[in-house]
Amino acid sequence: MTEKGRIKIEFGILATDINGDVVIENEKNFNYSLLANNKLWKDAEIHRSIIVDKKTNINLAVTKLKTSEDVSEELNQTFSIKVKGDFKELELFRLPLLEYLKILKFDSLYVLRDEVSMQIAQELYPGINKVESLLRKYIIKFLVTKLGPKWWDLTADVEMQKKTNFRKRNETVFSEFVDNRAYLIDFGELGKIIHSQSSGNLKKEDLLQKIANLEESPEAIAQFKKEIQSNYNKFFKTAFKENDFQKKWEDLEKLRHKTAHNNLFTIQNLENGKLLIKDLIDIINNAEKSIEKVSFSLYDKEAIMDSFVTFEDIDEETLLRELRKSQDWAYHNADDFVGIKSFVTNHLGSRGYKFETTWDLIHKLEEEGKIETYQYTSEKNEYGVSSIRIAKQNKIKPTLGDLLKESK
């Protein structure tokens, strides 16, 4: 930050006095009130209505803004505070200034511009992007060589598959030539493939079936526990788990979210972020060097493939038939709606149909006008539930629920 520290950057705030509790009424009063706080300044004075600190090279200007007549009864007065200075000094100045404005009884403070946070985010993001790219490369290389071309179906959970199906429409250039599904999931989900997922044992229905058929003996229970271990324990323990990968990845994810949403940063965020980036790059690079040393047992491979082959693609006729059944059941036993997520994962998933191709078919049938997706709301579900139904204009045999409604 030494070079950036020579550049004047800006920190801008909007301070509102809603209830009239602030005794300051003009810019001159405001300047004197700020100048009276010795914690903010080292050698400051007012020069042409601007507070200038000759020692820290910080300048602060206050402007009182006009309030619209429409909101004058709700908003007493508003001030704009613009601070300029070197990176290092301005980074330290921001929080004490905000704390003092609260002491002055301003009701709401808004950050309008924070070039300190902007520079921190710009310095962090290339490293975050490098870490994300390295892990994506490692995951694809590891799982393709260990599980084969079906690695995605064996590893991605329902939410990941749903998300990639939705997002792949936004990437039409490279997807014509490459399998880009690993590029369509979020930062956090990428890490979950390492620390939380369990290849070949993802489906709840599979686990329930295995439990139901489990022999009640210590040996069988021990074997079952081995089967359902996460990837973290089964394949990535030495390279990742023993190096505290999950916590570091999740901590960096928080910083990544802040950069994506132009949030506010401190110098501590920058220092922590740099350490996390360095540690994660080392972990991933070392893991990649030992890919060939990791091997799946014959039992692991068989268990994974057995789990995979039990699921098949669903066709249009079957999907519409099962949707009609679900609508009939909902009409008689529930709130007369079919939740789309439950329909895909619980209803169709338990019958052995792949989630990914089911979502694809749902999108296709919706575009063709054969089914509809909508938000179902009621007193119990005021925020709405994503739901699915046979399109009303579609000339498909009506459900029993539809016939009963028409007869009323």
Token pair for 219: 């040996």
Identify the weakest region by mean pLDDT among 34-43, 62-71, 208-217. Answer: 208-217
Q: What is the pLDDT of residue 178?
A: 84
Asked whether 146 and 298 are in contact (CB, 8 A), the reply is no
The H or E element containing residue 142 is helix 115-147
Task: Tell which phi-psi region holds residue 46, choosing left (phi > 0), alpha (psi between -120 and 50) or beta.
Answer: beta
Long-range contacts of 345-351 (CB under 8 A, 24+ apart): 345/158, 345/204, 347/322, 348/314, 348/319, 348/322, 349/158, 349/203, 349/204, 349/205, 350/205, 351/322
Nearest to 354 by CA among 406, 397, 311: 311
Q: What is the pLDDT of residue 309?
A: 42
pLDDT at 90 over 80: yes
Backbone angles phi and psi of 74, in degrees to 5: -100, -20
The H or E element containing residue 9 is strand 9-17
Nearest to 127 by CA among 282, 15, 265: 282
Q: What is the pLDDT of residue 241?
A: 84
Q: How many CA atoms lie within 13 A of 84 on its CB side?
A: 9
- Proportion of the chain above pLDDT 90, given as a percent: 47
| Structure confidence by residue, pLDDT tens digits, 13-47 | 999 998 889 999 999 999 999 999 999 999 999 99
What size, in residues, is the chain? 408
Q: Which class is domain 4-106?
A: alpha beta
Is the CATH number of domain 316-407 1.10.1760?
no
The residue type found at 62 is V
Token pair for 123: 């310095």
Helices 218-227 and 204-212 cross at an angle (nearest 10°) of: 170
Average pLDDT, integer, range 220-241: 67
Token pair for 293: 């040393």
Q: How many CA atoms lie within 13 A of 123 on its CB side?
A: 20
Cα diameter, the chain: 86
Reduce the DSSP state of residue 36 to 3 states and report it: coil
Q: What is the pLDDT of residue 58?
A: 96
The residue type found at 52 is V
Q: What is the pTM of this model?
A: 0.66
**β-bridge mates for residue 10, sequence order:** 84
d(CA 155, CA 135): 15
Identify the weakest region by mean pLDDT among 36-50, 82-96, 158-172, 191-205. Answer: 191-205
pLDDT at 406 over 60: no
d(CA 357, CA 312): 9
| Structure confidence by residue, pLDDT tens digits, 271-324 | 999 999 999 999 999 999 988 877 666 555 555 555 444 467 899 999 999 999
Residue 243 CB neighbour total at 10 angstroms: 17
pLDDT band at 96 (very low <50, low <70, confident <90, very high): very high
Domain ranges for the chain:
4-106, 121-307, 316-407
Most confident of 98-112, 306-320, 374-388: 98-112
Q: What is the pLDDT of residue 210?
A: 59
d(CA 100, CA 15): 12
Asked whether 221 and 190 are in contact (CB, 8 A), the reply is no
Q: What is the pLDDT of residue 264?
A: 95
Backbone angles phi and psi of 109, in degrees to 5: -120, 135
Q: Greater confidence, 245 or 7?
A: 245
Nearest-Å Rg of the Cα atoms of the chain is 29
Q: What is the pLDDT of residue 392?
A: 76
d(CA 111, CA 158): 39
d(CA 265, CA 117): 5
d(CA 387, CA 334): 13
- Tell me the average pLDDT of the chain: 83
